[in-house]
Structure 1
Amino acid sequence: MKKKILLSLVFYCLAVPISFAQKASIIPVNLRFEYLENPMGIDEQFPRFSWTLEARDKKAFGQKQGAYRILVASKASLLDRGEADMWDSKWVNSDAMQQVVYQGKPLLSDRTYYWKVAVKDEDGKPSPWSKSAQWTTGLFEPGEWQAEWIGTDQLFDPKQKDCNIIDPWLRKTFELPRRPGRASLFVASVGFHEVYVNGKRIGEDVLAPAVSDHTKRARYVSYDITPALKKGKNVVAIWLGTSWSIHGPYVSDHRPNTPIVLAQAAIYAEKEPQADAKPIFSLATDASWKTHPSPNKLLGIWDSNRMGGELWNANQEMPEWNRLDGGDSAWKNVVVYKPELKLSAQQVEKNYLFDEIRPISIEERADGSFRVDMGVNFAGWTEVPIKGNPGDTIQFLYSEREQDDMTFGLHSAYIIGATGKGVFRNRFNYSSGRWITIKGLKEKPKLSAIHGWVVRTGIQSATQFACSDSLQQWIYDKVRWTFENLSLGGYIVDCPQRERLGYGGDAHATCETGMLNYHMGAFYTKWMEDWRDVSGTESIVGNMYDSTFARKKLMGGRILNNGILPHTAPTYMGGGGPAWGGIVVTLPWAMYQQQGDKRILEKNFELIKNWLAFLDSNTKEGLLQRFGGHWDFLGDWLWPGATAEGMNNDKPETLCLNNCYRVYNLRTAAKIADALGKEKEANQWEEQANVYSKVIHDRFFNKTDNSYADSSMANLAAALLADIMPKDLRPQVMERLEQEILLNRNGHIHVGITGGALLFKLLRENNRNDLIYSMTSQTDYPSWGYMKANGASTIWEMWEKDLPGHSLLHSSYLYPGAWYIDGIAGIKLDPKRPGYQHFVVSPPSALPALRWAEASFNSPAGLIEVKWKREERLALQVIVPPNCSATLRLKHEDDIDVEPYGNYIKKIGQQGGEVIYELQAGTYSF
């Protein structure tokens, strides 16, 4: 009896340090694993854990993490008892709560692991354990894949007006000796897919998987099919959608030009099988699967301006196709293919339906058609009820412009079946626009029966922002809406209707807006993998299947393996210039600053080296020269009036901009090398940047007015951002930029996509909120206010609205989205301490219509809040999350009384008319 009591006391003592009884000041929350919440099918063998901290007492100050302890177990019951059979980190004296690397036993494929974390506070008191989180693993070794790639014998014929492939059904019937405890189905497809088990749709995601370079890679998605399986006969069915399987640049000798799928599942009796457990059944795609045409097919050929839509033929419907009672005796055998594709897990959020959209009106027109106004421009799915004569074809034409029935060739159709009624709804394609013209209906559809949804990657919002200036609020809201409509398939498309390409140049305009408003860690990690996949191949410009454009001599998508990069990833197509490939330097660095993620620098370091070496190989007498073909050396793009002036040119301003950007790449790469401890490369790249800066300055500097090349905003911003000029000239060049904005352009913006992204980044980093505010406050052409005045519900591709062939939903001008958070709200990262455990708060000086602003930002290190209001003087509220600190920078006239906060805030100096304070964790109200 005494022995039992003693053991109980021992266990109690072990438990007490992490019980509520200790009343630690902080609790770990928001557990993430490789940036994701409870993800499935992760094939990273050394994954990383992250969390933030919540203050137990919201009124307290100075909460810190002095240590952490992570437990990882193979069974939930073990973790519940505080046992860690996979990894117990023990107490680690550290304030780290981001990117903590797993260091336990080797992880097994196709298993579930459970984890939790506890921390010690500033006084050494342990917190309670966090809530448990979990992840499932994918397949770590290529040899574990036993499945075969399967599809149909129907191959794409590019000569057809519309795709000739009917989206196929595939199915397999099998028998289980008992109801299983665990069954994870891994599905990789070239083209989209949906999964069904015994007639039940598995998962709520759509347009799976994420887009990949299908000359090299296929990403697999993990599905838990356990609840849908039963003892006895079962059927697993997969529906394939053609989509990216026929994308021209993905045409390969080793892969058929048709949708294909590979899937397998090890089905276990136990929910948490032992390491050596054998499955009761192994399911895999092979020659025994059967296939049948579905009622759905792609309209268009998945190419620029020919993305089309979908045709649904209700006469081909088979409601029982995915059920046991359906039978497949009349189905054909599948074809087995052997593509050479690397399999990797989809470690990015899936695509889902968001933001249900209801139409605002239906117009019945003289020609018998109906015009539906959805009220907002969006990219996604629509649902419309159908009623008419059997065999009638109902057409749906989608348009961004009120005066046009159809833009960019986007259209779908529905052939009515024997019942005379049905419902059209997208499945493997999406439309983009505001208006739907419906032709062929005999009676007007009910407004309440028509629905729309945005389709996008499931990135979570990180930020809320509001301000007193109605125009600025409109711009912020529309930038976010546009960004969400472009977040499709794990990369940012330039436009969702015409091209759907992942332009590197456009990414400069979107990436920091994304990072300051959404949780983008997994998303950008995946996109950088895409850039590694396409590296070494030149860009493909034009339509792959049009002999007018196909694989021109210098634009043929040739594999060169010399460090060259195409202008889009993972999509290859499209034109660009050095700033397009250069995203492989700037995006990892921005991710590192935002997330403190050193691994993204390590994984992309060779890619960066190869890119810079490629630029070196095209350098003559210290200047980067035009390389590639006609569309491979673009400078700025789509500034006001650009189409009339001509953008793709060999004028000095293009050469100047691209050389300045190249130096900016070198200086950024030097910082990356320095962060990784690679002194040789850091010194080499910084030295190159200094040498090339002198050459650029000597060649392009205009002494008469302290400008560069054509004196444009783009070249002034690029030269300043790259530190081209001698230090003593920098103030004069900045003054010349101010003159260009306020005087020469009367407060308006006069740059395009790349030039504008560089300009806004420069002004944000130099706290020139006054200049950005001037450009974002205009209401006439060119400006965001001009878009608002012209009825825009999304941000346009060009500053001009009515030039034909250009998108009204585009990535071009989304760069203000970052400024609202780090400029107007004043929440800035500290470049010397990545990841926001230390950050800067710097409310802007008085701006005309801005009386107040507030933002809450779920940073990687915790929830940061800033609220400010200006009446007779500045009123300011700041929340610094636990385990964080902040530098507060205020103008002298905005100085504050710090006495109520004692040692938790201290004045640390003055600089350039500002008073500087250091704040510890807590809530402050000045």
Structure 2
Amino acid sequence: MKKMYFTWLLLLLGTAIVAAAGKPSVLPVRLRCEYLLNPRGIDELQPRLSWTLAATDSNAHAQSQKAYRILVAVTEQELRENKGSIWSTGWVNSDEMQHITYKGKPLQSDQSYYWKVSVKDEQGRISDWSDVASWTTGLLQATDWKATWIGSDEYFKPGKQECNIFDPWLRKTFDLKAAPEKANIFVASVGYHELYVNGKKMGDGVMAPAVTNHTKRARYVAYDIASALRPGRNVVVLWLGASWSIFGPYNTPDKPKAPIVIAQAAIYNKGNVAPVMLLKTDDSWHTQNSPNRLAGVWDFGRMGGEIWDANHENPDWDKALSPDDKWRNATAYHPNLVLSAQMVEPNKVMKEIKPVSVEARPDGSFRVDMGVNFAGWTAVRVKGLPGERIDFQYSERAKDDMTFSLHSAYIIGPSGEGEFHNRFNYSSGRWITIRGLKYKPSLEDIRGWLVRTDYETASTFACSDSLQNWIYDRVRWTYENLSLGGYVVDCPQRERLGYGGDAHATCETGMYNYHLGAFYTKWMEDWRDVQGSESIVGNMFDTTWAHKGVMSGRALHKGILPHTAPTYMGGGGPAWGGICVSLPWFLYQQEGDRRVLERNFEMIKNWLSFLDTQTKDHLLQRFGGDWDFLGDWLWPGATAEGMNNNKPQTVCLNNCYRVFNLRTAAKIARVIGKTTEAAQWEQQAALSSKAINDRFYNVADHSYSDSSMANLAAALLAEVPPASLRDSVMARLEKEILVNHKGHINVGITGGAILFKLLRNEGRDDLIYSMTSQTTYPGWGYMKANDATTIWEMWEKDLPGHSLLHSSYLYPGAWYINGVAGIRQDPQSGKGFRHFVIRPPLLTASQLSWAHASFAFSAGEIKTAWRRDGSGLSLEVTVPPNCSAVLELPQQQAQRVTEPSGFMKAKGTKNGFALFELPAGKYSLRTL
């Protein structure tokens, strides 16, 4: 018996050894910490670690992860020796590779951490270790900060057309006995900053930090300055730009109307445990005006630009040996601001844009066509007599020299030549009018650049329809031009406000095309920061900009949200504040991120509690002032009809949206185990749905309220119609699109985001294709026909005061990946796209004959390519390692499908589709 047992054990071990032999099928790559690649200066005490698996054989199938092992250390040498002195997980039997919460030793401030991961594949074979990744910590406790806020003693004076203060330099000179081994400086500023050490700019980010609610918070950026320091005399200079420091809603009594900064660095020599010096801002620093100042006043329609006066240049401003005797003492300030790390990618200078023509005009000016509407920086080389002023006006309209008062200037210094170049502001437009120049500049004298948050692109797309390709390309370009500063602005030229309603119109397009986990996580913190404050309508020059304590006579509620974050200003309605529910849920669906639900749950509860105070008989009532209860916004002809109204159509839409909020919040509550709240919100949604049906449902034609697309879509998305009526209401929406509006769209920002979300959920690619394929007004094709290079604010082009680069109508951008490419979420997954659905669109070959796309989500890259030839369909699909997909094909097609790999398995039918399970790998199939 013992001999038989021993023989059986040897056979079992031998089988295991054979199974574990050979090359592992996967290798962990693309290691990330809190969505970021090797982030610096983070302050998350339990950061989450993620990776992607690369297939070692691109032709293999069913690769998966059965276990992982993580090592974290404070030196790379430890990792080379496979030591995890800070955290060693051992082998963890799990297929998870996203959001693994760090559970090692407590993290220390200003420390580097290095990590790597190995995994076991589907057969238990151990992969090679990944490449080493890292993160560094910032100052984790408020008491770690020993520095003082400092700035100049010059303040902005409201009431002027131009900013009256120059952007200051603040500098500190000091001596070091040796070149340091380690020196990380943490810099937070109210207003933009740049950091220079011994004449060298630190980092490749621009216009730092990310935009933040400066009534409560300042974000710090970490810079490694060790390599720039040297034995002997050193100088550190902080160059500040006014920018957001003079933004009216951020003005508080505890800080000046001027840019200020706080910075701190512990400097270590090799072998020293304690720092040899603590460099920190205080009143021993010195200040001097730079040649640069803000043009304009950083307010609605007056964002301006920059003015450079070369007569004020100081060639020694960043030199260590330059004396301080001509510099003033810095002024210390004591604002009440929370200091936290900037845990989002920095702004960076991206694509270069070259002019296409320069026209000399009869009035002596020159008109430059940059060829494309964009938001970012420009540079122009100029020559002239000392003291001459060269003005630059920016316009997004061919007929106007300047739109929204965007302008800059260069005052020529003694040399007679120089270059205007943006630093702490940006312009937006296609055309530049140059005045004051005595000669025609060459094309080589002028350059432009897109500037945006440096998130990574995630998707590619192309199809057989040139108009659809144009829409996809212009939607992406517009989104990129709206995302400077860690949030999405409505428009970059007029307001630069982070509207919640506009977030609805852009966020899923963003998530399907870019890696935006850190970006949206940061923006949700902005929304938490502004909760409890009413939106501000007005500007800093009148009496309405201050935060009010009441809203139209009602006491301020802790759950109320302004319509923008982190910017407070602007109008909106329940769908604007309601982004606090929708955006965390969309991010969870995309990334499988439970923490974003948990951290925003109290905000969600407070928001819904606020809406409860405005509800009677289960129906939301109009509340607030003229700009607090908007419904849909900017539908075709809206300005003529009147958008800001109290008509039943607005009340209906906002009630449907509240139900959508309630149902979404209930799903969030279920995921994180808040069953009491989930049950409450589900009951409220049911009662409110009945109340909406009783008041707004039109029995005669199965519509709601004014029978508009917006209200039909809102009711359907919120699941307001009883199940017995849903098909009838959907048919009525189809008629509204195809018959009543002849295939055109007839919604605006809010209604459009709701409509496209609904139709994508329902798989109604035919209806979306109809609206996106029109070439006459209203529609994207009409914009293309009218020489648009970006997506407009309104369906109409020539109404004055509206922008031609706007967030209004970007919602098709999600459909190209989710619908046309057929890469769909599995709503039951809970793990983002680890499990997903492939469903080629139900479009005819005459509509679209082919499309191909890639979508690199956090856990891997999905690829699809399909082609229709008559009634047949060719389809290629790539499912990333450790992921799986369900292919959905119409049952009639599925009876004639061939796929040679042998890994595609039938798994039944659902709603008229045949289902096939696809483990990881590449698939090529054909239906006849």
1:890 is paired with a residue whose SS is strand
Residue 792 of structure 2 corresponds to residue 793 of structure 1: no
Cα gap change, 1:557/1:823 in structure 2, threshold over 3 Å: closer, same or farther?
Answer: farther
Cα gap change, 1:22/1:173 in structure 2, threshold over 3 Å: closer, same or farther?
Answer: farther
Q: Distance in 2 between matches of 1:147 and 1:811?
A: 40
Of 637-646 and 911-920, deviating more is: 911-920
Task: Tell me the equivalent position of 1:164.
Answer: 164
Task: Tell me the equivalent position of 2:30.
Answer: 30
Residue 190 of structure 2 corresponds to residue 190 of structure 1: yes
Q: Distance in 1 between matches of 2:551 and 2:493?
A: 24
Cα gap change, 1:551/1:886 in structure 2, threshold over 3 Å: closer, same or farther?
Answer: closer
Q: Distance in 2 between matches of 1:232 and 1:281?
A: 14
Which residue, 735, 738, 742 being the options, matches 2:734?
738
Task: Tell me the equivalent position of 1:756.
Answer: 752
1:114 is paired with a residue whose SS is strand
Q: Distance in 1 between matches of 2:893 and 2:390?
A: 64
Task: Tell me the equivalent position of 1:236.
Answer: 236
| TM-fit CA distance, 1:849 | 3.1
Which residue, 681, 697, 701 being the options, matches 1:685?
681
1:901 is paired with a residue whose SS is coil
What do residues 209-254 of structure 1 show as CA deviations (whole Å, max 9, x unaligned)? Answer: 0000000000000001011000111000010000000100001121
Task: Tell me the equivalent position of 2:877.
Answer: 878
Task: Tell me the equivalent position of 1:334.
Answer: 330
1:234 is paired with a residue whose SS is strand
Q: Distance in 2 between matches of 1:21 and 1:81?
A: 24
1:763 is paired with a residue whose SS is helix
Q: Distance in 2 between matches of 1:192 and 1:911?
A: 55
Task: Tell me the equivalent position of 2:657.
Answer: 661
| TM-fit CA distance, 1:912 | 2.8
Q: Distance in 2 between matches of 1:203 and 1:33?
A: 20
Q: Distance in 2 between matches of 1:608 and 1:925?
A: 45
Give TM-score scaled by structure 1 length. 0.96
Task: Tell me the equivalent position of 2:766.
Answer: 770
Task: Tell me the equivalent position of 2:836.
Answer: 839
| TM-fit CA distance, 1:554 | 6.1
1:326 is paired with a residue whose SS is coil
Paired residue type of 1:810: H
What do residues 42-83 of structure 1 show as CA deviations (whole Å, max 9, x unaligned)? Answer: 110100011111111111111110000111010011011111
Task: Tell me the equivalent position of 1:177.
Answer: 177
What do residues 871-905 of structure 1 show as CA deviations (whole Å, max 9, x unaligned)? Answer: 13100000011101101001134325456333x22
Q: Distance in 2 between matches of 1:84 and 1:257?
A: 49
Q: Distance in 2 between matches of 1:561 and 1:729?
A: 37
Paired residue type of 2:515: H
Which residue, 603, 623, 629 being the options, matches 2:619?
623
- The equivalences for 1:591-740 within 5 A come to 591-740=587-736
Q: Is the CA contact (8 Å cut-off) linking 1:541 and 1:555 kept in structure 2?
A: no
Task: Tell me the equivalent position of 1:266.
Answer: 266
What do residues 835-883 of structure 1 show as CA deviations (whole Å, max 9, x unaligned)? Answer: 1110000001233331100111101221100100011310000001110
Cα gap change, 1:769/1:302 in structure 2, threshold over 3 Å: closer, same or farther?
Answer: same
- The equivalences for 1:452-601 within 5 A come to 452-547=448-543, 560-601=556-597
Q: Distance in 2 between matches of 1:864 and 1:230?
A: 48
| TM-fit CA distance, 1:725 | 1.0
| TM-fit CA distance, 1:561 | 4.7
Task: Tell me the equivalent position of 1:853.
Answer: 851
Paired residue type of 2:38: N
- The equivalences for 1:344-355 within 5 A come to 344-355=340-351
2:882 is paired with a residue whose SS is coil
Paired residue type of 2:447: H
- The equivalences for 1:268-347 within 5 A come to 268-270=268-270, 277-347=273-343
What do residues 172-210 of structure 1 show as CA deviations (whole Å, max 9, x unaligned)? Answer: 001112110010010000000000000111111100000
Paired residue type of 2:41: G
Q: Distance in 2 between matches of 1:327 and 1:558?
A: 59
| TM-fit CA distance, 1:714 | 0.2
1:445 is paired with a residue whose SS is coil
Q: Is the CA contact (8 Å cut-off) linking 2:249 and 2:545 kept in structure 1?
A: no
Q: Is the CA contact (8 Å cut-off) linking 1:539 and 1:555 kept in structure 2?
A: no
Q: Distance in 2 between matches of 1:325 and 1:901?
A: 71
Task: Tell me the equivalent position of 2:91.
Answer: 91
Q: Distance in 2 between matches of 1:885 and 1:891?
A: 20
Q: Distance in 1 between matches of 2:331 and 2:342?
A: 25
Residue 120 of structure 2 corresponds to residue 124 of structure 1: no
| TM-fit CA distance, 1:544 | 2.4
Q: Distance in 2 between matches of 1:551 and 1:813?
A: 31
Task: Tell me the equivalent position of 1:363.
Answer: 359
1:383 is paired with a residue whose SS is strand
Paired residue type of 1:627: F
Q: Is the CA contact (8 Å cut-off) linking 1:221 and 1:346 kept in structure 2?
A: yes
Paired residue type of 2:560: I
1:699 is paired with a residue whose SS is helix
2:801 is paired with a residue whose SS is coil
Task: Tell me the equivalent position of 1:6.
Answer: none
1:528 is paired with a residue whose SS is helix
Give TM-score scaled by structure 2 length. 0.96
Q: Distance in 2 between matches of 1:892 and 1:40?
A: 52
Q: Distance in 2 between matches of 1:413 and 1:325?
A: 31
Q: Is the CA contact (8 Å cut-off) linking 2:549 and 2:556 kept in structure 1?
A: no
Residue 865 of structure 2 corresponds to residue 867 of structure 1: yes
Paired residue type of 1:862: G
Which residue, 407, 411, 423 being the options, matches 2:419?
423
2:784 is paired with a residue whose SS is helix
2:188 is paired with a residue whose SS is strand
Q: Distance in 2 between matches of 1:301 and 1:865?
A: 47
| TM-fit CA distance, 1:559 | 9.4
Task: Tell me the equivalent position of 2:911.
Answer: 912
1:920 is paired with a residue whose SS is strand
1:900 is paired with a residue whose SS is coil
Task: Tell me the equivalent position of 2:201.
Answer: 201
Task: Tell me the equivalent position of 1:146.
Answer: 146
Cα gap change, 1:381/1:121 in structure 2, threshold over 3 Å: closer, same or farther?
Answer: same
2:174 is paired with a residue whose SS is strand
Q: Distance in 2 between matches of 1:349 and 1:377?
A: 24
Residue 807 of structure 2 corresponds to residue 808 of structure 1: no
Q: Distance in 1 between matches of 2:160 and 2:230?
A: 44
Cα RMSD (Å):
1.6
Residue 61 of structure 2 corresponds to residue 65 of structure 1: no
1:339 is paired with a residue whose SS is coil
1:288 is paired with a residue whose SS is coil
The number of residues matched between the two structures is 904
Task: Tell me the equivalent position of 1:12.
Answer: none
Question: Sequence identity, in percent?
Answer: 65
Q: Is the CA contact (8 Å cut-off) linking 2:376 and 2:449 kept in structure 1?
A: yes
Q: Distance in 2 between matches of 1:597 and 1:723?
A: 25
Q: Is the CA contact (8 Å cut-off) linking 1:321 and 1:327 kept in structure 2?
A: no
Q: Is the CA contact (8 Å cut-off) linking 1:185 and 1:222 kept in structure 2?
A: yes
Cα gap change, 1:21/1:171 in structure 2, threshold over 3 Å: closer, same or farther?
Answer: farther
Q: Distance in 2 between matches of 1:472 and 1:854?
A: 13
- The equivalences for 1:403-418 within 5 A come to 403-418=399-414
Task: Tell me the equivalent position of 2:920.
Answer: 921
5+ residue gaps, structure 2:
1-15
2:65 is paired with a residue whose SS is coil
| TM-fit CA distance, 1:562 | 2.1
